[in-house]
Chain A
Amino acid sequence: MPRFPGFRFRHFLGLAFLVVTADSESVEAAGDHVSHIRQLIAEGENGSAMEAIQKHLPTSEHGPELRFLKGIAHEGMGNRKAAMQVYRALIRNHPENPAPYNNLAVLHAHDGNFKAAASVLERALGTDEDYQTIYSNLASIYEKLARDAYLKALDSSEEPASLMLTHIREMKLKATTPPAVPGEQYREMREQAAGELTLPDETLNVPHGFRQKNYRRPGASHQTTM
């Protein structure tokens, strides 16, 4: 049986590091007030962070990012209802970004509303057709493996299951602004994350976290039968 890289628990940890690192690196580009607010949240100063957000929100060019941080600060203060409202509003205004869906789903799950959480996560996947294709291909492979294993369990002489996978025909380039000087304070964390993932260092420069996407929408995809 093949191993399935990317589903090992330590890789999840690695990804978590990646998110933290990338978020922090985007700080330089985002402006001083955003960086300051992130810092406050990281230190658990959610009240001060909230004050700063309210102050900058009307004028900042990083409005969506500040609102997202507002959601996180609400969560930090235990105002889950308020946080959910923030994420819902973000989803309405920026339906193409997966991050608010994700955090809303986490809150739903926390309340025991697993169906709602799953449905929100499905919508999150729908924000990026590439991910949708990747997840669907992965599911198809597991499905084929499962069908073949059932045949063996049942001693069936039937043909192994067919496998339909989908190609992505167009590589979408995300507009990235690599930080001019990578934050020195994050180097160690980045190296650790790289070690966990055994990925080349430059992978870590792919931006994560909330930002507006400005890549082209995906073109037509096409199916391959194997």
Chain B
Amino acid sequence: MPVSLPRNVDAAVCRVAAVAMLFMPCQPVSLAEERYEELILSSIEKLRQSRFQHSLEQAEALVRDYPNSKLGYLVLADLLAARSGKPVEPDHYSKHAGQLDGLRDELSLRWQWNKERERRQELIPDTLLQAATDQEYILVVDASKARLYVYENTGQSFSLADDFYVTVGKAGMRKQHEGDFRTPVGVYFVTSFLPGQNLPDRYGSGAFPIDYPNAMDRRRNRTGYGIWLHGTEKENYNRTPMASDGCITMSNDAFRGLSKYIDIDGTTPVIMAESYNWVPADLARKQLEELSMLLDDWKTDWESLDFERYIRHYSPNLFATEQHDLSSWSRHKKSVNSQKKFIDIRIRDLSVFSYPGERDMVLMSFRQDYASDNHNNSIRKKLFWQKNPEGKWKIVYEG
């Protein structure tokens, strides 16, 4: 599908355009999804309080207001079965065991997250170290909780602004091959917006494609394409926790809610992993200090035109780009440097994310303003750093 909006349009304009294309009714966007989850959970809560009739009424309201909610019907069915006092198990249970298990998993994951949401306000996923100033929101997909968190970049730290129930691939996470029904693990960026009316029904309200496969995926020989965040087909309110071909899917209500946090000019990060360590924000700040010094050293050493100082930041055996290994990279850099009297590097819009799915890896992404006596440019750069066995951070990819 073609990108629906030009990439260089100002971020705010893009967002307004995307939002305008999505919303017809003028109401708080994620309200319907929130109410949906509230009805499900309060039906269970009331059952726990032995208020059976109230519980039943909530389940009835759920299927009345969300008639495509399979989970709503399951909760209602379980309540009615309990009320009947008879063993009402679907005759064809085994045929549908997967679907039933999926729905029960969804219920249990929604319930668990609701119980721990409060506690998670104090902690952040350990992937979040620093966001760039133009990254207002960072999306974090946590497959273990079937949840997408929206973190607001507060400058100093991150605060949980919103969260949505989401579905990942049928075969789980860690995509490797095209058609393996897995969802990638890594740090990605939203590249565009595709409105639902131009897409088949299964994408629902629309889609936000992301840039899988990225540099690290290519390095790991990962194949496949077309990993999107998208809505849900008409006959379902949302899907069970593992039910996509590899995309992140959510209810159309959630999709509309999510879209207000997304810039489609490539700045909104989507971090995806099986799970995260949850850490206090000051621990992240401490780690960030160390990494900032590292980047500063790299920049200074590059500017020094002293090749040995510069090249020590690169991993001898792991460094590789699309065109180079370390020896060809060294030759190239040596020849460039020999023609320079000075190099002046400016780094801005720096984001630092601990890279999920890789051991001790960090992705630094920034805008690099390069000035020298014979050449100037400004590019977006990605540096992947990894700790070597001696515990020293080394660059394993630059591009």
Residues of chain A touching chain B, judged by Cβ–Cβ distance below 8 Å, are: 1, 4, 7-9, 139-143, 145-147, 149-156, 158
When distances are taken between beta carbons in the complex, the residues of chain A under 8 Å from B63 are: 1, 149, 152
Determine if B96 is an interface residue (Cβ-Cβ < 8 Å). Answer: yes
Residues of chain B touching chain A, judged by Cβ–Cβ distance below 8 Å, are: 53, 60, 63-64, 70-71, 73-74, 76-81, 83-86, 88, 90, 92, 96, 99-100, 103, 235
Contact present for A152 and B73 (CB under 8 Å): yes
Contact present for A146 and B73 (CB under 8 Å): no
Bound-state CA distance A153–B74 (Å) is 5
Knowing A1-B60, A150-B73, A154-B70 are in contact, say whether A142-B83 is a contact too (CB < 8 A).
yes
Knowing A7-B53, A143-B81 are in contact, say whether A150-B86 is a contact too (CB < 8 A).
no
Picked from A9, A149, A155, A156, the residue with its CB within 8 Å of the CB of B235 is A155
When distances are taken between beta carbons in the complex, the residues of chain B under 8 Å from A154 are: 70, 90, 92, 96, 99-100
Contact present for A139 and B90 (CB under 8 Å): no
When distances are taken between beta carbons in the complex, the residues of chain A under 8 Å from B90 are: 147, 150-151, 154, 156
Contact present for A146 and B235 (CB under 8 Å): no
Bound-state CA distance A85–B126 (Å) is 65
Bound-state CA distance A153–B80 (Å) is 13
Taking CB as reference atom, which chain B residue is nearest A8? Answer: B53
Q: Could you tell me the distance in whole angstroms from the C-beta of B237 to the nearest C-beta in chain A?
A: 12
Picked from B77, B92, B99, the residue with its CB within 8 Å of the CB of A158 is B92
Contact present for B70 and A152 (CB under 8 Å): yes
Q: 18 A-B contacts, Cβ less than 8 Å apart?
A: A1-B64, A4-B53, A139-B86, A140-B86, A141-B84, A142-B84, A146-B88, A147-B77, A147-B88, A149-B76, A149-B77, A150-B74, A152-B63, A152-B70, A153-B73, A156-B90, A156-B92, A158-B92
Contact present for B84 and A146 (CB under 8 Å): yes
Taking CB as reference atom, which chain B residue is nearest A7? Answer: B53
When distances are taken between beta carbons in the complex, the residues of chain B under 8 Å from A142 are: 80-81, 83-86
Q: Could you tell me the distance in whole angstroms from the C-beta of B212 to the nearest C-beta in chain A?
A: 30
Contact present for B85 and A139 (CB under 8 Å): yes
When distances are taken between beta carbons in the complex, the residues of chain A under 8 Å from B70 are: 152-155
Contact present for B80 and A145 (CB under 8 Å): yes
Q: Could you tell me the distance in whole angstroms from the C-beta of A155 to the nearest C-beta in chain B?
A: 7
Bound-state CA distance A145–B60 (Å) is 11
Bound-state CA distance A146–B53 (Å) is 15
Contact present for A153 and B86 (CB under 8 Å): no
Contact present for A149 and B96 (CB under 8 Å): no
Bound-state CA distance A155–B79 (Å) is 18
When distances are taken between beta carbons in the complex, the residues of chain B under 8 Å from A140 are: 84, 86
When distances are taken between beta carbons in the complex, the residues of chain A under 8 Å from B86 are: 139-140, 142-143
Bound-state CA distance A152–B74 (Å) is 8
Bound-state CA distance A217–B78 (Å) is 37
When distances are taken between beta carbons in the complex, the residues of chain A under 8 Å from B92 are: 154, 156, 158
Contact present for A143 and B84 (CB under 8 Å): yes
Bound-state CA distance A36–B12 (Å) is 84
Taking CB as reference atom, which chain B residue is nearest A149? Answer: B77
Bound-state CA distance A151–B73 (Å) is 8
